[in-house]
Amino acid sequence: MTHGQNAPVNLTVQSQQPPLLVRVLWFLFVGWWASGIAITLAYLFMVTIVLIPLGIWLLHRVPQIQTLRDRSREFILTREPDGSTTVRTVEIPQRPFLVRALWFVFIGWWLSALWLAIAWLISLPVITLPISVVMIDRTPGMLTLQRH
């Protein structure tokens, strides 16, 4: 066995999603307005301070609410010397909590609100929807410097 065969392989996995036509119809009739409500609720939750975790959780769900698209997960697949295979979730180191909290209080909340407003507005023409989805996916990182 050569060294190249033992090298870890990174995998990105997305769960089974509804067909594209279903997702487009969902966006047109439900996702567009429901995602606006979810974004508004998330920010109302964060204003209460106590419900910040719920607000952040809801922001993580906006891509799914908007387009029925699940978040992808990354795994590392490694072949062991004995021939077995090990799969583990990629854990990305996060910045220190104090740095993330200060970012959220002074910059993250208003910058991500502006970012989300732009992302939501550019989702109106269906042709720019993919750009909007990418922007919405990046919101947790902008809000709290979360890495994923």
Q: Give the residue among 27, 15, 17 at the shortest CA–CA distance from 128.
A: 27
pLDDT for res 79: 81
| Triad 52, 119, 65: Cα angle to 5° | 60
Structure confidence by residue, pLDDT tens digits, 62-120: 888 988 887 666 677 788 888 788 877 777 788 999 999 999 999 999 999 999 999 98
pTM above 0.85, yes or no: no
| Triad 20, 21, 27: Cα angle to 5° | 90
Q: Give the residue among 74, 99, 101, 68 at the shortest CA–CA distance from 87.
A: 74
* Structural domain containing residue 127: 3-144
The number of domains in the chain is 1
Averaged pLDDT, 121-129: 85
pLDDT for res 108: 92
